[in-house]
Each structure stands twice: as structure tokens, then as C-alpha cells.
Amino acid sequence: MNDATLVTMAGREPERHAGVVNPPVYHASTILFPTLDALEAARPDRGVYYGRYGTPTTFALEEAVARLEGGDRAIAVGSGKTAITATLLSLLKSGDHLLVTDSVYAPTRHFCSATLARFGIETSYYDPLIGGRIAELIRPNTKVVFTESPGSLTFEVQDIPAIAEAAHARGALVVMDNTWASPLYFKPFRHGVDISIQAATKYIGGHSDLMMGIVTCTEAAYERVWRGVMEVATVAAPDDCYLALRGLRTLSARLERHQRSAIEVAEWLRGRPEIAGVLHPALPGDPGHALWRRDFLGASGLFGFVLKPCPRTALAAMLDGMELFGMGYSWGGYESLLIPTHPETCRTAVPWRTDGVPMRIHVGLEDTKDLIADLEAGLNRLRRAAA
Ligand SMILES: *Cc1c(COP(=O)(O)O)cnc(C)c1O
């Protein structure tokens, strides 16, 4: 089954729900067992047991995402960051070493340097472009190599197959934050990843109205991760699982549009005199383009660009007057967003240097003519204010 079909089918069983197309929302804490035998035979890792372990709504979402990612089993949790933290806690112990890409989502870095360090787990950051040379950084106590591709804010594409080969040869597991591409545009398990993380808050939810994370594992990694996540006991709420499933059904159609519009906007930005550079791996000439073409099936609507140096007042003149591009965190909804970023503040392995102003843009589902007109007016305000 092709993805555009699978995304509409996976996890659905209308015949079990009176023919209703979408799985219903089960609100549950207590699950009743009819007999002492049934009570004693029940297991939290097999079917419905107690609300904290999930309900049929949760299981429908988990099954759908696991199939789309190409993994064996998935676990839904309360946020993307929880998916990251609960996974790392389940895989690491005091005395272990962790390798994390320098381009990682900044709150992941913060968890490593604040919480994991407090528990005696050491983190080293590596050049996102390191590829197979990661082998030189793997120590006997390195248990996990954490990847994210393209990188948050800076959009470097990682050579995941080369990293996975080196990690596996030395007994380390590969975790990937696969949020940018979504389960449709990068297939982590075909490229050697053991555990893939989605901030379902972004494209899976797709409508800027829910927080959720999903961890998908190989069969070999699932047991450990499931136990660890259940110890931390961070549950995804059934209403949010319903919303995530509803968002998922249109993911293929939305992403196609996000991809097409973002490339159009990125190419337009590239031609503007106010712009020093565009960071978008789907553009020919981008340093990550060859790897992106080799490994990815598409590009989403999120990318970066760098404005030539300008005073803060000029940046404010541009951003405060935008009509369609909102300023706010998160992305992956139907609406366009534009914010300045500060990658130089969250780099330690490879400093990120620019004299310009780095920006992150999410191209939503609006008409690109309207979006480009909004950007053009904004850049004109910036130029006038800078003069
Ligand atoms: C947003 C984001 C997260 C965290 O997801 P939340 O649901 O906001 O906790 C993790 N990784 C990446 C790449 C993200 O963009």
C-alpha cells in the first residue's frame, strides 16, 4: 500500500465501532474485568489494562504511526519533548555516554546538560556533518547516538545510514528526531535508525491545537523503551490522540502543499537583495541537497534563511507589520510563521557564525502569491527602516 493510501487506512477498524469511520474517544482510567481469572490474566503490555497504559484510541494512533514510520511498535506520550526525554531515560544509566548532534532541538540539549548530567550521564556534541567519522567519537560506554535531520534552525542533513553503521558496529543505538520530515518524507528504519521520535504537535496534529509525542521502535528496542516510558508514566490524553489521528488522515495532502509552497517561497527569497542565504535542503546548491535527494522522499514547509545585517528596529518594522506570517513557537500547523532564531547560542561542537540575522519560516497552506506579497512588503519595510 502506498503512503497516501496507508495514511487514510492505518489504525482504523470501522467494523469494530458500528461502522463509524473514525475510532471513538475512550475516556478511561479504570478498566473493568468480568472475572477473577480475567483480572489476574490481564497485562499492561497486552490490550487495555488501565488508562495510564493507553486506550483503544491511543492504540489506533500508535499503530498508524508505527506503520507509516516503518517501525514495529509506537508509544504515544504527552509532548514531543517527553518522547525525547522518556526515551533517553529508558536507554541510559549513570556512567553512560551519549552522542548528540550539535544541530539538535535546543530543549533536547537542555535536558542532556541539566537532567542527564545530574544523573551522571555524559553528553558530547558532534558535528552534524560527521557521517561515518562518528566512529572516532564512540567510546566503550557510548550507548546512544542521537540524530536529528535536518537540524533544528540550521537544516543540515545528516548521513544517517553512515552514522547508524558506525554506531551499530560499536554496540550503540541510534535515536532520530524525525519531526521535520514527518513519517511520510523520511523512513528512519530503512536507514538504520532504532528509535524514531515525532513531535506529533507539529505535522501529525497539523492544526496548532495539541501537544503530543510519539516514539516508534524496532521490535528489538521496543520492550526497553516501553518499560522506561511507562515508568515515567507520561500519558497521551485520549482527546489529543483523536485529534492527532484526525490530523494524520490529511498529512499526505497537506505535506505535498507545504513542500511545493515552501520551495516556491524559498526560491523567491533567494533572489531578494536583503537575504544573505537560504537554508533549505530541497534547493539545488544547498550543502545538504545531495544527501536529502538520496534519503528523503520530500521536504516539509519549514526552512531557514539569513537576513543581511540590519538594525533591530528594521527587523521589528518587518515582523510587527506582517499580516499572514505570525510570530510564535512551534510549527507544522496550516498557518505560516516567521521568527528570528539564535543558533549561535546553542552550538558547542561547531560554532555557527553569521553577521546576519537567522530566521525560521514555516510556509503554511495559504496561497503563495499572498505569502510572497506579505514577505515582499515586510522586506520593503525592513529596507526603509534600515536606510
Ligand atoms: C517542537 C519540536 C520538538 C518538541 O515537541 P513538543 O511537542 O513541543 O514538546 C521536538 N523536536 C523537534 C524537532 C521539534 O521541532
Q: Is the CB of 178 under 6 A from ligand 1?
A: no
Q: Is the CB of 177 under 6 A from ligand 1?
A: yes
Rounded CA gap, 184 and 187, in Å? 7
**Chain segment 303-359, per-residue pLDDT in tens:** 999 999 999 999 999 999 999 999 999 999 999 999 999 999 999 999 999 999 999
Residue 12 has pLDDT above 90, yes or no: yes
Q: What CATH number does the domain containing 168 carry?
A: 3.40.640.10
Cα angle 292, 295, 297; round to 5: 85
Of 194, 225, 249, the residue that ends a domain is 249
Q: Is the CB of 211 under 6 A from ligand 1?
A: yes
Cα angle 381, 153, 303; round to 5: 65
Rounded CA gap, 234 and 212, in Å? 11
Dihedral of the CA atoms 299, 261, 214, 8 (nearest 10)?
A: -100
The closest residue, in CA terms, to atom 8 on ligand 1 is: 80
63 and 86 in a single domain? The answer is yes
* DSSP secondary structure string for all residues of 179-245: TTTHHHH--GGGGT-SEEEEETTTTTT-SS----EEEEE-HHHHHHHHHHHHHHT-PPPHHHHHHHH
- Gap from CA of 272 to ligand 1 centroid (Å): 30
Query: Residue 43 pairs with which residues in a beta bridge?
Result: 46
- Gap from CA of 81 to ligand 1 centroid (Å): 6
Total of domains in the chain: 2
Q: What local confidence, expressed as pLDDT, does residue 233 receive? A: 87
29 and 109 in a single domain? The answer is yes
Q: Position 237: which residue type?
A: A
Q: Is the CB of 196 under 6 A from ligand 1?
A: no
Instruction: Match 477498524 to its residue by C-alpha cell.
Output: 13
Per DSSP, the three-state class of 202 is: coil
Q: What local confidence, expressed as pLDDT, does residue 203 receive? A: 98
Average pLDDT, the chain: 97
Catalytic residue positions, numbered:
52, 105, 177, 202
The closest residue, in CA terms, to atom 2 on ligand 1 is: 199
Q: Is the CB of 161 under 6 A from ligand 1?
A: no
pTM: 0.97
Of 249, 272, 293, the residue that ends a domain is 249
The H-or-E segment that residue 270 falls in is: helix 251-270
241 and 273 in a single domain? The answer is no
DSSP structural state of residue 15: G
Residue range(s) defining the domain that contains residue 16: 3-249
- Gap from CA of 106 to ligand 1 centroid (Å): 9
